[in-house]
């Protein structure tokens, strides 16, 4: 029966016609019609048996370059087909398995390929959704000369392709972020974080007058000298809220995909400016941390984000300081005053805290009327606790959101960013 499963519509119709002719021959007692009926039934069966046992004299090797590509990018697939035997008379149809997120399935028809010859087949992939995808398997469809049966043969297995989030270019840094400069450095020193970088002390005989910090000297009414500034190695924690209940929309235009892309952009931007970046989820799980190798920072941050699935946790429950004493940049989905209070409860006021609040109602208009009000209340609470807050919407450019977040960190205020600018 497995052999008959390979019959095409033509083969099935021919077999049905033969069976009908056989029944008629028995009713009419026509032996000649019975002979014809037997022949008509046997022909598709014989074609199916021979086709199922035929061998495809082909071997295939697939290459995907590059094997990591951002959403919206392009990857090229090359399949080298080599002939090790005779092709079926009716030719061979090749079809490579491609997930819907990468595009349509390519098909190729090989009429004839000389023995021991090789030809390359190429096509392009344009992924629209992040994730760890698998291209393949490559199937060769063989048919009989009459087109009554067809069977698939696997010529090549699957090849892994990592589709990472799209990274947007950002400019600027929050004032004093990652550096112990001026008063902010002193605050970190008093709170037991960082190193003695860019702090001042009393002038001592023999000190270089070029290191006198005149502003501190004027404020304290005595000469103060500036110590050598060194990068503050406390690092920055980026928190991503990936709860499915906190996001709206589906596919590549959902608020979750926007948040993931923003998170990837922020992490790589900070790392390229010398920051140690720690990426955590809203449940405290560390996705990437202590990224120090510039050559591998993209892989360590983007690959875990590519494979990230939404969390089924309903509420934002930190259970502790999500920043672990470091500066915190939180990228949050639907946020209400309860979630804002939970974040504030575990964050020291002397430590920099920034938040991008997604107006998820804008990703699904008409579905969350009360969400906008709760969002404003949550932003007001965070601002009152010293957080820098930006409210972002889907039409926003991420570079603008980041620029305003840097300013909000200085002012400690809340800003709503729209397509036209700042509201």
| Average pLDDT per block of 10 residues along the chain, 423 residues long | 81 92 91 92 90 81 94 94 65 88 89 81 94 94 85 91 95 64 38 46 73 84 70 74 92 94 95 88 83 60 94 84 88 92 83 92 73 87 91 93 85 45 43
Q: What is the predicted pLDDT for the residue at 294?
A: 45
43's CB contacts (< 8 A; 6+ apart) are: 14, 18, 146, 148
Contacts of 375-381 spanning 24+ positions with Cβ under 8 A: 375/334, 375/335, 375/336, 377/336, 377/337, 377/340, 378/335, 378/336, 378/337, 378/339, 378/340, 379/335, 379/340, 379/414, 380/414, 381/337, 381/340, 381/341, 381/344
Side by side, the strands of the sheet bearing 159-164 are 68-70, 159-164, 131-135
What tokens does 232 get?
């503050």
What tokens does 354 get?
């920034």
What tokens does 274 get?
């010398």
CB 397 within 8 A of CB 363: no
Q: What is the predicted pLDDT for the residue at 199?
A: 67
Q: What is the predicted pLDDT for the residue at 419?
A: 42
Q: What is the predicted pLDDT for the residue at 112?
A: 75
Q: What is the predicted pLDDT for the residue at 354?
A: 95
Q: DSSP labels for 226-273?
A: EPPP-B-TT-EEEEE--BGGG----GGGSHHHHHHHHHHHHHHHHHHT
d(CA 171, CA 403): 7
Q: Is 0.95 surpassed by the pTM of this model?
A: no
CB 44 within 8 A of CB 11: yes
SS3 label, residue 401: helix
The torsion angles phi and psi of 105, rounded to 5 degrees, stand at -80, 125
CB 45 within 8 A of CB 148: no
The torsion angles phi and psi of 354, rounded to 5 degrees, stand at -125, 150
């Amino acid at each position: 029966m497995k052999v008959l499963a390979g019959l095409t519509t033509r083969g099935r119709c021919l077999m049905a016609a033969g069976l009908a002719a056989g029944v008629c021959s028995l009713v009419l007692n026509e032996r000649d019609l019975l002979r014809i009926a037997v022949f008509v039934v046997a022909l598709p069966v014989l074609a199916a048996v021979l086709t199922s046992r035929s061998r495809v004299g082909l071997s295939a090797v697939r290459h995907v370059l590059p094997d990591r590509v951002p959403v919206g990018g392009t990857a090229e697939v090359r399949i080298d087909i080599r002939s090790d035997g005779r092709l079926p008379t009716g030719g061979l149809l090749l079809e490579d398995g491609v997930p819907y997120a990468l595009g349509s399935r390519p098909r190729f028809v090989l009429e004839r390929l000389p023995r021991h010859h090789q030809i390359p087949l190429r096509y392009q992939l344009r992924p629209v959704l992040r994730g760890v995808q698998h291209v393949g398997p490559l199937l060769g469809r063989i048919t009989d000369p009459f087109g009554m049966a067809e069977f698939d043969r696997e010529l090549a297995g699957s090849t892994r392709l990592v589709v990472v989030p799209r990274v947007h270019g950002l400019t600027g840094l929050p004032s004093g972020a990652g550096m112990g400069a001026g008063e902010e450095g002193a605050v970190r020193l008093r709170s037991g974080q960082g190193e003695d970088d860019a702090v001042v002390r009393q002038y001592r005989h023999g000190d270089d007058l070029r290191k006198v910090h005149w502003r501190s000297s004027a404020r304290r009414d005595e000469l103060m000298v500036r110590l050598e500034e060194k990068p503050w190695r406390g690092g920055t924690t980026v928190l991503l809220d990936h709860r499915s209940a906190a996001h709206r929309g589906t596919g590549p235009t959902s608020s979750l995909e926007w948040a993931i892309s923003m998170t990837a952009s922020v992490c790589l931007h900070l790392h390229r400016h010398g920051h140690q970046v720690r990426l955590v989820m809203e449940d405290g799980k560390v996705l990437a941390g202590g990224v120090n190798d510039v050559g591998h920072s993209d892989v360590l941050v983007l690959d875990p984000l590519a494979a990230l699935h939404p969390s089924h946790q309903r509420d934002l429950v930190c259970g502790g300081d999500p920043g672990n004493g470091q500066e915190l940049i939180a990228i949050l989905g639907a946020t209400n005053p309860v979630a804002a209070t939970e974040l504030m409860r575990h964050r020291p006021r002397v430590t920099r805290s920034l938040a991008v609040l997604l107006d998820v109602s804008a990703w699904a208009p008409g579905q969350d009327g009360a969400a906008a009000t709760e969002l404003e209340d949550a932003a007001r609470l965070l601002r009152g606790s010293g957080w820098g807050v930006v409210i972002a919407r889907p039409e926003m450019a991420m570079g603008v959101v980041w620029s305003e977040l840097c300013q909000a960190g200085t002012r400690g205020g809340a800003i709503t960013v729209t397509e036209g600018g700042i509201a």
